[in-house]
Each structure stands twice: as C-alpha cells, then as structure tokens.
Amino acid sequence: MTIQESITNYKRFTGTATWRVAAALIDCDGVLLDTMKNHTRAWLKLMQKNGIKCSRDEFYLYEGMTGTEIVKKKFKEGAGKVLTDDEARAYYGVKGRYFLELGEPGKVAGIDRVLSTLRDADVQRIVVTGSQQASVLNRIDREFPGLLSTERVTGHDVHHGKPHPEPFLKGVAKAGVPASQCIVIENAPLGVQAAHAAGCFTIAVTTGPVSAKALTRAGADLVFPNMDALADALPEILKGK
C-alpha cells in the first residue's frame, strides 16, 4: 500500500476531512535508542535468577508495557507469585542494574534524520515511552538536544501501559491537538496497538526481530524496514500527497 493510500484509508476510517501533522509521538526503546538488545538480556537474567523459564525474544513482545507490569506478569505466570507494587519495583530495580552492566547502547541509525525533518517542519516531537528506567530517560536529553520537545510521557505518568491507549492519549493531550493531527512512530506490536486505539496515524519501523506482518496486524498504517527508509518517506507523509 502506498503512503497516499494509507493516509486515505486512515482519513476514511477516522472521519478526518483534512490531513495535517502537528505532532509526532515517538517511542524511545528501539526507536530513539538501540536499547532493546540489552533490555532483553537484562530481563532474561532477572528471570533466570528467579527460576522463571522464558525466552529472550519474548520480551520484544512485551515492549511498551511498564517495567513493573512486566515483572508482575512474568512472576505470576512463571512462579505463581502475585507481587505487590513495592516488590515489583524492587525487582525492576535489579533488572535496571543488569541493564547498566551491559554498557550504553547507541542511537537507532537514522533517527536523527527523522527528528530533524520533523523539527524543520515545525512538528512537535513528544516522547511516549513505557520506560521507568532513569538511565534510559536521562539519556534522552543528552542524546537529542534540540530535537525533542520538553513534554514527554513515561511509565511513571500512566496507570496503564501499552497496549492500553492511555500513554498516547496523554501524549495527544500534551500536544494540545486532536489525535487525527498526531502521527506515532513505534517499533513494537503493543505500542502500535496503543497508538491505533488512541486514534493516531501509526507508523511502525522494524528495528528488532518483530516482523512487518506482526506490526501490520497490530494496526500499523505504514511499516518501514528501518529508520532511514522512514526518513526518506517522511516529507511525503507530512505533505499527505
């Protein structure tokens, strides 16, 4: 499907008469920062240390949930334990230490081009992430000076993580424009589901092992094989023609 066909389908589905992109709601892990390979290693280590069987790749499918939600889910499924919020936060802190031990991953290739194009088009750039990890959140300001808006939504700001639409609905509210004027840039099925449910035009990029088909099934309006491909197409997307 072409970009124009995707936009036309979105307008028809949402009842939007015109096309205007005023804000971009942007995920962090796997979109801004190439962190997912280390997140998945840290999650696997935490679970193995606690006798919970799992695979590393399954954590790509949980991407977008808050960290404490993931802890509660896996301990209930794998160990039959129902954790309190304080217990979940403590385990998440351990996972955070394992993550730091793996070193600091770089940016996703091509993301600077995407952000520069959005900035030059006067589109707000708001981070919407399920992360609650200080080491990740603090890096956003260091790595992208002048390329992101000061407003953001993190795992600390929501009651329900992705795939619930709350994170992106809060992002829309911070942007101060209708959802129909917001695009979302995501890389995970749960994030795509959340963005679609919030009513935003949803762009997915395959920066990990999750397939393009899985992202389309989750509700992505467009899927790109990498961030450079999105950067190349972004001017056409912003124009809508």
**Can you give the CATH number for the domain in which 160 is found?**
3.40.50.1000
Cα–Cα distances (Å) from 111 to 51, 99, 210, 213, in that order, read: 38, 22, 19, 22
Residue with tokens 């802190």: 93
How many residues comprise the chain?
A: 241
Say if residue 241's pLDDT is above 70.
no
pLDDT at 66: 87
Q: Which domain holds residue 155?
A: 3-34+106-239
152, 113: one domain: yes
Q: What is the pLDDT of residues 69-109, one digit of tens each?
A: 999 999 999 999 999 999 999 999 999 999 999 998 899 99
36-49 helix and 67-79 helix, angle to the nearest 10 degrees: 40
68, 161: one domain: no
Terminal-residue alpha carbon distance, the chain:
14
Of 60, 77, 101, the one marking the end of a domain is 101
Say if residue 137's pLDDT is above 70.
yes
Say if residue 133's pLDDT is above 90.
no
Q: What is the pLDDT of residues 208-240, one digit of tens each?
A: 899 999 999 999 999 999 999 999 999 999 999
Encoded tokens for 37: 């390979």
- Residue 194 makes CB contacts below 8 A (sequence gap 6+) with 64, 162, 163, 164, 165, 166, 167, 168
Average pLDDT (190-194) is 97
Q: Which residue has the higher pLDDT, 45 or 63?
A: 45
pTM over 0.85: yes
pLDDT at 118: 98
Question: Does 163 sit behind a cis peptide bond, omega within 30 degrees of 0 on the bond before it?
Answer: yes
Of 48, 69, 101, the one marking the end of a domain is 101
